[in-house]
Chains A and B, each alone.
Chain A
Amino acid sequence: MAVAKQKMLALNGDEAVAYAVKQSDVDVVAAYPITPQTIIVERFSEYVADGEVDTEFVCVESEHSALTACLTAAATGARAFTATASAGLALMHEILYVTSGCRAPVVMAIVNRALSAPLNIHCDHSDSMVERDCSWIQIYVENSQEAYDSIIQAFKIAENQELLLPVMVGLDGFTLSHTLENVQTLPDDLVKKFVGTRKFPLVTSHEGKNVPFKLDPKKPMTIGPIDLYDYYFEHKRQQEEAMQIAPKIIQQVHKEYAKISGRRYGNGLIEPYHLEDAEMAIVCVGSTSGTVKTVVNELRSKGTKVGLLRLRTFRPLPVKEITKALENVKAVAVMDRSLSFGGHGGAVFHEIRHVLYDASKHPYVVNYIYGLGGRDTSPNLIQKIYRDLQRILETQQIEKPVQFIGLRE
């Protein structure tokens, strides 16, 4: 299939998400406003008010109810979407597990924002990193274009009949959500065709019949029963087995999407940037990778062998791909925009160092905690990180495995 003719629109990240949802033939949107996610809900409300979407918009009284309504709508057979940030995601915490446990393929945009206290509305990844264990697929995007593309892909990933896992797409608050960007958009009918309509796998009901996995009065099924020590464990393993096949499905959807859009983000799981011969690399997620790429270009022009590994998919963790991408690098700096208090570094650092333990070669791996509460991360800071890596290679010594960067000393 040839790449479609696309329309360039000036959209901020939130608008790009709302536009993607508008095109994806979503049946139910249940959402509650929170900065910096509000624009998504506002734009979508406008689409509803102007009759531009065939969607039931449920303007709920809390994020807890937003996700609950999406969960039960999805269980009833609908395509469901919600969006939140920070405290809203924290309020959903309980239902995040229930959604994945009920295998409800809900798609959610997370406009990443710091958690209170102190109250802060700006970007960091504390809100979604703390939810990394809840059996949702997590994709973090670099720019608004990718936010648009990833939301469309997310429906197709989540609803895959083998998978049936919810997907959250993280975009950096304000940096992406409130910043205008040129976004290439696909024609409506093409997106609609790409996402298709929901299909339901047949499962064995309590009556021993093969029935479609949804709440259907003609084919009754009990969803969400109490499930104790005699079965719960197997059900949790099933979720993990689904997670294990997710990389294949994410890559497949990413590839199909590339065919119609011409856009690729690495292989859909990771995006290596000048890593082939790199001696030093930064690993990060989200919009900061844009800044890192600029610095890599500068340093490369001066002959320094530096590179970047952007993790696009953080859950499931692309273990093989990370190992392959980093095992020949000599020094790695992992940048974390969240902190696991008392836990020796941030979430991404934990994963990267952990994965490299089993690699054939062991690069030096250090951690930088940066940008909490929206603190700006300038190219100077990125240059400093590469200089630090250079020193580690020269001295063959790590002075500080975990440190903060870009704050008052």
Chain B
Amino acid sequence: MFSEWKFAAKDIAEKPDLFTSGHRACAGCASATVLRLIMKATMGPTIVTTATGCMEVASTIYPYTSWKIPWIHTAFENAAANASGIEAALKILKKKGRIPQEQVDVIAFAGDGGTYDIGIQALSGAVERGHDFLYVLYDNEAYMNTGIQRSGGTPLGASTTTSPAGTVMPGKLEPKKPITEIIVAHNIPYAATASPYYWRDLIAKARKGIEVNGPAFLHVFAPCPRGWRSDISKSIELSCLAVETCVFPLWEAINGEYQLSAPSKAIALKPERKKPVREYLQMQGRFRHLFTPKFEKVIDEIQRITDERWQRLLKKCSMALN
């Protein structure tokens, strides 16, 4: 299905950035790193569209832009519809000979708010219609651009400004929506999860998503120090811990066939490597209230849900242990 793409760290380092520095992302923002890495996976002519959100406002402010490729933003809930229109135009203009006869790749970036919540309709429609584009969800687990409000991607127990931890409420009451599984259920040819800590895996998956014929969905974990109340130097470490605790396992679904990616597969094969969620949670101020006698049980619940989802994933990957 995919051409073998071999690349060395040197190739990636030497490839000129298409998402350039000078943008206004916060210190320690993993989303900016994610965008930069994904743009390293492009090869030919590419058009990018971005939903309203952190990466849109941080990467452009008139008259400046971080984008070295053609880029368009229209609104919040329609990144996938943006891509649909671009792809449809490219297809017909090429057919009519009005643009060069070459493959132009289309990538849409949207945050968790623009994907799990307000953008899911446009995304579902575009995937169902089978447009040829890569949709990248950079998931910082809340509406960070508007000031840390909960989204469908916010995990259980996280304190946000609209799910604040109070004297009776332990932060968000609901677990994260399984967005990537929902997209896989559309019979999408390629879907995957990725983490910037495993940058090589991330770039390779972005490349696969670009190359696949039809829609592709890439769900990338993106710690946000401002919203997570975490140390700005720990974003990549958190991206590692999320995988090691199985809070955010790495996997692909190629034509609906689930398979674990190497870092998660290693844990599946040696379950003793799986770290407790506590290690991941304690590095983040958004979970601080859980480390009090009143809400401690929520940590057990997060562990239970994480384990349950991990087991379910193992079954999907035909790696269930019993």
Using a CB–CB distance below 8 Å, which chain A residues touch chain B? 27-28, 30, 54-56, 58-62, 64-65, 68-78, 80, 94-95, 98, 102, 197, 206, 215-228, 231, 235
Contacts and interface: CB of A to CB of B under 8 A. Distances in A.
B62 to A, nearest CB: 4
A226 B56 contact: yes
B46 to A, nearest CB: 7
A65 B62 contact: no
B99 A77 contact: yes
Contact of B122 (A28, A61, A216): A61
Contacts of A68: 74-75, 78, 81-82, 84-85, 122
A300 to B, nearest CB: 51
B26 interface: no
Given A54-B96, A65-B80, 6 more contacts: A27-B96, A64-B77, A80-B85, A218-B45, A225-B64, A226-B57
A95 B65 contact: no
Nearest to A106: B85
B33 interface: no
Given A62-B122, A220-B68, A69 B74 contact: no
A278 to B, nearest CB: 47
Contacts of B98: 77, 197
Given A69-B85, A206-B63, A215-B86, A28 B47 contact: no
Contact of B84 (A60, A75, A77, A217): A60
14 contacts: A54-B95, A55-B92, A65-B81, A68-B74, A71-B82, A73-B85, A76-B85, A77-B99, A215-B70, A217-B45, A217-B47, A222-B72, A225-B64, A227-B62
A193 B11 CA distance: 50
Contact of B92 (A27, A61, A65, A70): A27
Contacts, number: 166
Given A54-B92, A231-B63, A61 B74 contact: no
B234 interface: no
Interface stretch (B124-132, B170-178, B254-262, B277-285): B124-132
A95 B78 contact: yes
A223 B90 CA distance: 17
A98 B85 contact: no
A68 B84 CA distance: 9
Contacts of B82: 68-69, 71-72
Interface string B245-280: 000000000000000000000000000000000000
Contact of B49 (A28, A62, A72): A72
Interface string B136-173: 00000000000000000000000000000000000000
B213 interface: no
A69 B84 CA distance: 6
A395 to B, nearest CB: 54
